[in-house]
Homo-oligomer: A and B are copies of this chain.
Amino acid sequence: MADYGVLYLIPCPISEGNITSLPSDTLKVLYNTSYFVVERAKTARRFIKSAGHPQPISNLMIYEITDDKAANETFLNQLFRGNNIGVISEAGCPGVADPGAEMVAWAHRHGIKVVPLIGPSSILLALMASGLSGQSFVFNGYLSNKKPELVQQLRQLESKASKLNQTQIWMETPYRNGFMIETCIQALQADTQLVIACDISNEEENIQSKPVKDWKQIKTDYYHKKPCIYLLG
Contacts and interface: CB of A to CB of B under 8 A. Distances in A.
Nearest to A14: B118
A134 B101 contact: yes
Which of A22, A124, A126 is packed against the most chain B CB atoms within 10 Å?
A124
A72 to B, nearest CB: 14
A107 interface: yes
A217 interface: no
Contact of A108 (B116, B200, B208): B208
Contacts of A125: 116, 118
Q: Is the interface of A mostly helix, strand, loop or mixed?
A: mixed
Interface in A84-129: 93-98, 101-108, 114-116, 118-121, 123-129
Contacts of A139: 134, 136-138
Given A96-B137, A101-B133, A104-B130, 9 more contacts: A23-B23, A95-B129, A98-B134, A101-B131, A101-B132, A105-B131, A115-B205, A116-B126, A138-B138
6 contacts: A21-B23, A95-B129, A97-B135, A103-B131, A115-B205, A136-B139
A136 B140 contact: yes
Nearest to A106: B131
Given A20-B25, A23-B23, A129 B105 contact: no
A68 B233 CA distance: 24
A54 interface: no
